Structure 1
Amino acid sequence: MPTFEQLFAQHVATGMARQVALADLLGDRDWQLDLTTGQATFGSDLTFGVQLLGTESEPAQTWLWAWANEASNIPPALLHLTTWLREYGQQEQVDAFTEPSLPLSVADGHRLALVASSLTGRPYYRGPYDGGAVFFHLEGTPPEVTAPVRPERALTVLQQVISAFPLDHRVTARSFFTQQGWQLNESPDSLEAKDPGSNTVLTITFDNQGRISNIAGTLAR
Structure 2
Amino acid sequence: MHVATGLARQLALGDLIGERGWQLDLADGTVTFGDDLRYQVQLLGTENHDDGSWLWAWANEASSLPPALLHLCGWLREYGQRQGLAELTEPTFALQRADGHRLALLASGLTGRCYYRGPYDGGAVFFHLDDAPPEITEPVRPERALSVLGQVLQSFPVDHRIAVESFLHQQSWRLDSAPTSVTAQHVDGSTLRVDFDALGRVSNMSGTVSP
Q: In percent, how many aligned pairs have the same letter?
A: 61
- What secondary structure is seen at the aligned counterpart in 2 of 1:44? coil
Q: Does 1:176 align with 2:167?
A: yes
- Please name the residue that 2:89 is paired with: 98
Q: Does 1:208 align with 2:198?
A: yes
Q: Does 1:198 align with 2:193?
A: no
- Please name the residue that 2:41 is paired with: 50
Give the superposition deviation at 1:200. 2.7
TM-score normalized with structure 1 length? 0.90
- Please name the residue that 2:210 is paired with: 220
Number of positions where the alignment pairs a residue of Structure 1 with one of Structure 2 = 211
Give the superposition deviation at 1:93. 1.9
Instruction: Return structure 1 stretches of 4+ with deviation > 6 angstroms.
Output: none
* Cα deviation 1:16-59 (Å, max 9, x = unaligned): 10010000000000111010000001111111110001001112
Letter of the structure 2 residue corresponding to residue 38 of structure 1: G
Q: RMSD value over aligned CA atoms?
A: 1.5
Write the distance in 2 (CA, Å) between the matches of 1:181 and 1:88.
Answer: 28
- Please name the residue that 1:135 is paired with: 126
Give the superposition deviation at 1:104. 0.8
Query: Bigger shift: 165-174 or 140-149?
Result: 165-174
Write the distance in 1 (CA, Å) between the matches of 2:83 and 2:171.
Answer: 23
TM-score normalized with structure 2 length? 0.94
Pair 59,80 (structure 1): closer, same or farther in 2 beyond 3 Å: same
Query: Mind listing any 5+ residue stretches in structure 2 that lack a counterpart?
Result: none
Give the superposition deviation at 1:203. 1.0
Pair 90,181 (structure 1): closer, same or farther in 2 beyond 3 Å: farther
Write the distance in 1 (CA, Å) between the matches of 2:156 and 2:145.
Answer: 17
Write the distance in 1 (CA, Å) between the matches of 2:54 and 2:71.
Answer: 18
Give the superposition deviation at 1:98. 1.4
Query: Mind listing any 5+ residue stretches in structure 1 that lack a counterpart?
Result: 1-9
- Please name the residue that 1:161 is paired with: 152
Write the distance in 2 (CA, Å) between the matches of 1:36 and 1:96.
Answer: 28
Write the distance in 2 (CA, Å) between the matches of 1:110 and 1:121.
Answer: 15
- What secondary structure is seen at the aligned counterpart in 2 of 1:141? coil
Give the superposition deviation at 1:121. 1.4
Query: Bigger shift: 178-187 or 21-30?
Result: 178-187
Alignment of 1:111-122 (within 5 A): 111-122=102-113
* Cα deviation 1:44-99 (Å, max 9, x = unaligned): 11111100010011122111111111111111111111111112112222222111
